[in-house]
Structure 1
Amino acid sequence: MTTTTDVARIADRLDALPFTRRHARVLGGSGLGWALDAMDVGLISFVIAALAAQWQLAPTEASWIASAGFAGMAIGASLGGLLADRFGRRHVFALTLLVYGLATGASALVGGLAALLVLRFVVGLGLGAELPVASTYVSEFAPARMRGRLIVILEAFWAVGWTAAAVIGYLVVPTSADGWRWAFALGAIPAVYALIVRWGLPESPRWLASRGRDAEASAIVRDFEAAAGRVSLSPAPAIEERAGQVQRTRVRDLWAPRLRARTAALWVLWFCVNFSYYGAFIWIPTILVSQGYDLVRSFGFTLVITLAQLPGYAVAAWLIEAWGRRATLAAFLAGSAVAAVFFGTASGEAAVIAAGMALSFFNLGAWGALYAATPETYPTPLRATGSGWAAGVGRIASIVAPLSVPPLLGLGGAPLLFIVFAAFFAVAVVAALFLREQRGRALAER
């Protein structure tokens, strides 16, 4: 059987490593898939704005295009985490990319709303499963002293993908009646390359050790040690792996007495941040169009606002190891709340862009800190499951948020809408204070 000592030895060797080209390969390969996810999610905000005019969609019908994808993401996130804890991180990566890549390509061929809704749901299954698995995967390779920073850098690939979506939205979608089809086609092509890259990545040694596959785990760690110019002094395990007594993954274990407060705080955080983020950013192009800006101009504003995500991630990546997870997350969420109020009440181009950039800066910095803190909350046998279910609960909010925007706009316009978003950010600030601080600490293995 696998002992706590065997698992801890693998973990200690990983935490003792410097950052190597092997880490860069894991981070880059995972980040590429992350960016492609963001590009797909970002593209839908521009597609909705175009299809609302081309297909003469009612606001509720347009909101269902976004919500169908998020419904798939809610299910995908929950199942993806369970599958990754059962069958391994790498294999789930490949499966999720295949699912969402094929469905995104097929979306370019649809002729009506019903078919698009079905395909967006399937796309969501793949996207939802990948994100929590990717953050879990990278966190299990990252040395403890830099783990938070590397996860924020991983999350920064989201800004790269969303910026790519904004560029495609600005340059491709408005060019013709079929511009949105070309956008979906472009969203599918890179997934093929990402799938190839992912097959070349190693499995998580922490997961392998937790499943009794010590020889495989040790061999992967030795590759990382060799890349760092180190010779392992740890004896190689026997080729025959230890038999099973492997902890079974059960969702109810997330609510064990020692974990229930952390799980509750994470679920509240994920719900509130998803509601405000997707409610705002999916609808920003459409809201700008409704305020009198033409399609090209509103897409241009969105592109500028999106660029502010990158410095938000950069600052969060530095603060998360300087201040810690809780303080960084709470600070960026508070900044998001203030920026949301200013955006909702902004008038004039300069004010709209400035407030939007502030919202983008703080909100995406908060996402980076949240993704860093989430996998650290749970031990290895539950890490992907815990991350996946937190993300799944968040996706429920991302389903509700786009549907809530039209009635809120009808009741009080943009000011009321963004005050509601600010209130959700404020609740998230409180929830962040209940997280366990993990800065510089080793990941729990049991």
Structure 2
Amino acid sequence: MAAKVAETLDRLHLGRFHYRLITVAGLGTLFDSMDVGIVSFVVAALVVAWHLKAVTVGVITSSTLVGMAAGAALAGLLADVWGRRRLFMTTLLIYSLATGLSGLAGSVPVLVGLRFLVGLGLGGELPVTATLVSEYLPAPGRGRGIVFLESFWAVGWLVAALVAFLLIPAFPVNGWRIAFLIGAVPALYVLYLRRNVPESPRYLERWGAQEAARAAAAAAAGRASGGMPAERVVRHGARPGELFAAGHRATTIMLWVLWFGMNFAYYGMFLWLPTVLVREGLPLVTSFAYTLAVTVAQLPGYLSAGLLVDRWGRRPVLVVYMLASAVMAAFFAFARTPAAVLSSGILLGFFNLGAWGVTYAYTTEQYPTAVRATGSGWAMAVGRLGGILGPAAVGWMLGLLRWSLPAVFAVFVAVLLVATVTVAVLGRETARKSLEEIALDRVPS
């Protein structure tokens, strides 16, 4: 029976159901990204409005990242117990409410607590969303579909830049509050749009809800009629220790190194780029035009990776794009003219975000259904630790050690190269294989 449901899903072409699923899932990712992107602008406004010190600013920004790490690990575990759909809805609800309430915060402790909750929902939604969508997509187009899903992240950054530059200067006192509210209200509408998304048929089949699994697969094929039957799932909780069982150990190590390295480099480079380059005497990076150009370049990066990932394979595309990211980071470090800064920044955004899209697609394919969300969530949680340490390391290297810009970026290049080599050595190709076939490849003989 499991084979029948899987075969039904894998025989399909990407159609109306899949594109609608990618859209309603991707809109949530868009608002998640918008929140992360807008925080740097909001904090800058809060420094003036609330007369904040640097330590307080660090606590506010870190609270979101800590929440994201906790949310990814917790939501992954719960999604393997309670189902993908429940967490698909719950995490976005937590994010939406906490983001809206952040705009009403009247003190630093309240804002820190709310930002932690925002991170909890945001960090939890990303692995659950990628897992749910991945389990619906047919094998030949699964990589492309997940990369396109993650491309909504770049659109969110673009929206964040537009909102920040249009609202915060126009409303210097309360512009940051309006920005948070703008992020919350549309997210609640996306939650409404998600109400009809059925549970993953692979998850339902795995835990014995045969009738519901067949109905969900029929919905994906466009043959559904009537309402969805009751799930009646006998759930079994996944344990993080299973990720280091004989069939998964190398995969887990590879994914944790990959996610840590990608987050460390991404947040370290992109959150600090304006500050670092202004420090180097290049005020160009403070302009809206620069921010817009680098952000827009991320979209074709996703698109190119999406077009290649099912043809070349996950591992080759990921290795090439990560190596290119390392090269562009090195060029960026030595850029000393506006043209060099702009061109290297655009190419860095292009390749780095293309690699991000493939990373999500590759991650959700690595584990069997029973622990897929747990494995994805814990990999992303480890990655969030890298996202916390990356920006902190830049401050430490520039402030205490007084390193030059090339020396700081040499660290990012080294981290990206370590992650690249780890994927090349420990990673296994998953393109054009069913999720069930990949899972069997992981079982030790």
| Normalised TM-score (structure 2) | 0.91
Q: Residue 430 of structure 1 corresponds to which residue in structure 2?
A: 421
Residue 401 (structure 1) aligned with residue 393 (structure 2): no
| Normalised TM-score (structure 1) | 0.91
Residue 439 (structure 1) aligned with residue 431 (structure 2): yes
Q: Counterpart of 2:197 in 1: which secondary structure?
A: coil
Residue 131 (structure 1) aligned with residue 126 (structure 2): yes
2:185 to 184, 189, 192: 189
Give, in whole Å, the separation in 2 of the partners of 1:342 and 1:277. Answer: 16
Q: Counterpart of 1:282 in 2: which secondary structure?
A: helix
Q: Residue 98 of structure 1 corresponds to which residue in structure 2?
A: 93
Give, in whole Å, the separation in 2 of the partners of 1:397 and 1:439. Answer: 27
Q: How does 1:350-369 map to 2 (within 5 A)?
A: 350-369=339-358
Q: Which amino acid aligns with 1:27?
A: I
Q: Residue 201 of structure 1 corresponds to which residue in structure 2?
A: 197
Residue 316 (structure 1) aligned with residue 305 (structure 2): yes
Q: Which amino acid aligns with 1:283?
A: W
Quote how far apart the aligned CAs of 1:296 are.
9.3
Q: Residue 88 of structure 1 corresponds to which residue in structure 2?
A: 83
Give, in whole Å, the separation in 1 of the partners of 2:334 and 2:56. Answer: 27
Quote how far apart the aligned CAs of 1:115 are.
2.7
Quote how far apart the aligned CAs of 1:400 are.
1.6
Quote how far apart the aligned CAs of 1:179 are.
2.1
What does the per-residue CA deviation read over 1:303-348, in whole Å, with 9 as the maximum and x for residues that have no partner? Answer: 2211110010011011111211111111111111111122222223
Q: How does 1:154-233 map to 2 (within 5 A)?
A: 154-175=149-170, 176-226=172-222
Contact between 2:13 and 2:141, CA under 8 Å: does it hold in 1?
no
Q: Counterpart of 1:377 in 2: which secondary structure?
A: coil
Give, in whole Å, the separation in 1 of the partners of 2:145 and 2:431. Answer: 12
- The verdict on how the C-alpha distance between 1:300 and 1:287 changes in structure 2, with shifts beyond 3 A counting, is farther
Give, in whole Å, the separation in 1 of the partners of 2:151 and 2:218. Answer: 29
- The verdict on how the C-alpha distance between 1:346 and 1:173 changes in structure 2, with shifts beyond 3 A counting, is farther
RMSD: 2.2
Q: Counterpart of 1:212 in 2: which secondary structure?
A: coil
Give, in whole Å, the separation in 1 of the partners of 2:305 and 2:259. Answer: 18
Moved more, 430-439 or 172-181: 172-181
What does the per-residue CA deviation read over 1:249-306, in whole Å, with 9 as the maximum and x for residues that have no partner? Answer: 1111111101100000000000010011111222334435545677994444222211
Give, in whole Å, the separation in 1 of the partners of 2:293 and 2:303. Answer: 17
Quote how far apart the aligned CAs of 1:212 are.
0.6
- The verdict on how the C-alpha distance between 1:348 and 1:117 changes in structure 2, with shifts beyond 3 A counting, is farther
Give, in whole Å, the separation in 2 of the partners of 1:218 and 1:85. Answer: 19
Contact between 2:277 and 2:285, CA under 8 Å: does it hold in 1?
no
Residue 260 (structure 1) aligned with residue 281 (structure 2): no
2:410 to 405, 408, 419: 419
Residue 119 (structure 1) aligned with residue 114 (structure 2): yes
Q: Counterpart of 2:151 in 1: which secondary structure?
A: helix
Contact between 1:66 and 1:399, CA under 8 Å: does it hold in 2?
no
Moved more, 75-84 or 301-310: 301-310
Query: Any stretches of 5+ residues in structure 2 without a counterpart?
Result: 441-445
Q: Which amino acid aligns with 1:414?
A: L
Contact between 1:35 and 1:158, CA under 8 Å: does it hold in 2?
yes
Residue 251 (structure 1) aligned with residue 246 (structure 2): no
Contact between 2:68 and 2:124, CA under 8 Å: does it hold in 1?
yes
Give, in whole Å, the separation in 1 of the partners of 2:177 and 2:233. Answer: 51
- How many residues align? The count is 431
Quote how far apart the aligned CAs of 1:394 are.
0.5
Residue 150 (structure 1) aligned with residue 139 (structure 2): no
- The verdict on how the C-alpha distance between 1:124 and 1:207 changes in structure 2, with shifts beyond 3 A counting, is same
Q: Counterpart of 2:238 in 1: which secondary structure?
A: coil
Q: How does 1:251-400 map to 2 (within 5 A)?
A: 251-291=240-280, 297-400=286-389
Contact between 1:409 and 1:416, CA under 8 Å: does it hold in 2?
no
| Percent of aligned positions that are identical | 49
- The verdict on how the C-alpha distance between 1:194 and 1:325 changes in structure 2, with shifts beyond 3 A counting, is same
What does the per-residue CA deviation read over 1:360-394, in whole Å, with 9 as the maximum and x for residues that have no partner? Answer: 11110110110000010000111101000000110
Q: Which amino acid aligns with 1:425?
A: L
Quote how far apart the aligned CAs of 1:409 are.
1.9
Q: Residue 443 of structure 2 corresponds to which residue in structure 1?
A: none
Contact between 1:285 and 1:298, CA under 8 Å: does it hold in 2?
no
- The verdict on how the C-alpha distance between 1:418 and 1:179 changes in structure 2, with shifts beyond 3 A counting, is farther
Q: Which amino acid aligns with 2:414?
A: A
Q: Which amino acid aligns with 1:273?
A: M
Give, in whole Å, the separation in 1 of the partners of 2:284 and 2:344. Answer: 20
Give, in whole Å, the separation in 1 of the partners of 2:359 and 2:390. Answer: 19
Query: Any stretches of 5+ residues in structure 1 without a counterpart?
Result: 1-5, 233-238
Contact between 2:31 and 2:183, CA under 8 Å: does it hold in 1?
yes
Give, in whole Å, the separation in 1 of the partners of 2:175 and 2:409. Answer: 30
